[in-house]
Amino acid sequence: MSWNNTVFGALLLCGIFVFPGCKGQEEHPKSEAIPLATLAVEVDLVREELVRSRIEVVGTLEAVERASISSRISGQIIELPVVLGSRVEQGDILVKISAGEISAKLLQAEAQLSQARRNLAREKNLQKQGASTEETVKTLTDVTRIAEAAYKEARTMLDYTTITAPFSGTITNKIANIGDLAAPGKLLLQIENGEDLQVLAQVPEALLLKVSVGDSLSVDIPAANLILIGEVAEVAPAADPMSRTAPVKINIPSGPDLRVGQFARIGLEGSGETTVMITESAVLQRGQMEVVFVVDKKEKIARMRLVRTGAVYDGAVEIISGLEPGDLVVVGNNDKLQDGQPLDITNK
């Protein structure tokens, strides 16, 4: 091979490797990230607070005024002018009972009283004339008093044959019918005044000492979709040894959707414990995650942090993990905040 051919081959080989290498050395412009704008936010400190756990007990709505109507005498029911659901006013007739025997006893007592009074009057006139003794007058006076007592008793028994409404209300239970035999103590009707309601709850003995007359308690009535504030009206002084609970009555305001017998939940405060709390607005939902933006106090930028929350108490939320007391978190204008974004801080 000649020297010229050798040089030409070397140059050709160099060209094959050099030209592609030169093409690869072309420079491209570098892309630069756009800096995040400073965002004005409102911040608040993470704090430790003493909160009390909430314990719920169940109860039932009942009327403050309610009565079970029964008879004081024996007899056949001859009038029953009410039906289930009837609205009655105080003094309205509810039941009338046959009064034949009692009416006869009343007439007999009335006649005996009239005779005793005549005998007493005659004997007093004779005493003035000296024809009777003081002892005889005194004896007839006692007889007259006995006759008066017998007449009053018969009159009272006759009054018992007519039973009237003790207050205005609604007939909620009707057991008796016309023709039935009424007997002393036998239940005939039940009447309730639905204008004034209360909740009867069985409170565990461990919580009973924390409930006092006049306390305000939260009452949730799911059927009416209502949450009310009730006032404790009565607290039993002793607990039932079998159930270890005691009845507590809570007065609540009446409403068109409230009915006697409805189910209710009563909120009671349990024991207190210290926990980490932040303003509820600081917590954001990002998919299945709960995040909070914490302020980097040195660089004045936001740092996103995952948290796990617990119970909510009046606008504040419990933080189970993810934050420590003293952390500064963004609570306002944080919905569009990004990790690493500069902040213009305003304290809450």
At residue 11, does pLDDT exceed 60?
no
pLDDT of residue 78: 93
Does the pLDDT value for residue 142 go beyond 80? yes
At 205, is the pLDDT very low, low, confident or very high (cuts 50, 70, 90)?
A: confident
The CA–CA distances, whole Å, from 47 to 57, 203, 276, 333 equal 31, 33, 6, 20
Flag whether pLDDT at 342 surpasses 60: yes
The pLDDT of residue 14 is 41
pLDDT at 18 over 60: no
Q: What is the pLDDT of residue 187?
A: 93
Q: Quick count: other Cβ atoms within 10 Å of Cβ 261?
A: 11
Segment 161-184 shows an average pLDDT of: 92
Q: Is the pLDDT of residue 104 over 90?
A: no
* Chosen CATH of 99-160 out of 1.20.144, 1.10.1740, 3.30.1140, 1.10.287: 1.10.287
pLDDT for res 16: 40
Residue 6 confidence (pLDDT) above 50 = no
Long-range contacts of 253-257 (CB under 8 A, 24+ apart): 253/228, 254/194, 254/195, 254/196, 254/197, 255/224, 255/226, 257/223, 257/224, 257/225, 257/226
Question: Residue 284: which pLDDT band, with cuts at 50, 70 and 90?
Answer: very high
pLDDT value of residue 53: 63
The pLDDT tens digits for 105-127 are 889 999 999 999 999 999 889 88
Long-range pairs, 4-8, Cβ under 8 A, ≥24: none
Pick the range with the lowest mean pLDDT from 19-28, 31-40, 231-240, 307-316: 19-28
CA dihedral 325, 331, 334, 338 (to 10 degrees): -10
Tell me: pLDDT of 280 over 80. Answer: yes
Q: Give DSSP secondary structure letters for 235-284.
A: E-SS--TTT-EEEEEEEE---TT--TT-EEEEEEEEEEEEEEEEEGGG-E
pTM assigned to the model: 0.54
Highest mean pLDDT, choosing among 44-53, 82-91, 305-314, 334-343 = 82-91
Read off the pLDDT band of 133 (50, 70, 90): confident
Q: What is the mean pLDDT of residues 182-195?
A: 90
Per-domain residue ranges of the chain: 39-52+274-347, 56-63+195-271, 99-160
Give pLDDT, residue 13.
Answer: 41
Q: What's the pLDDT score for residue 48?
A: 86
Provide the pLDDT for residue 267.
Answer: 85
Largest separation between any pair of C-alpha atoms in the chain:
192
Of the two residues 175 and 1, the one the predictor is more confident about is 175
CATH number of 56-63+195-271: 2.40.30.170
Task: Note the pLDDT tens digit of each residue in 223-240.
Answer: 988 888 999 999 998 888
Which range has the top average pLDDT, 13-17, 98-102, 245-249? 245-249
**Domain 39-52+274-347 falls in which CATH fold?**
2.40.420
Q: Residue 93 pLDDT > 90, yes or no?
A: yes
> What's the mean per-residue pLDDT of the chain?
84
Under the banding of pLDDT at 50, 70 and 90, the label for residue 261 is confident
C-alpha dihedral (116, 120, 121, 123), degrees to nearest 10: 140
pLDDT band at 1 (very low <50, low <70, confident <90, very high): very low
pLDDT value, residue 21: 43
In this prediction, residue 348 has a pLDDT band, given cuts at 50, 70 and 90, of low
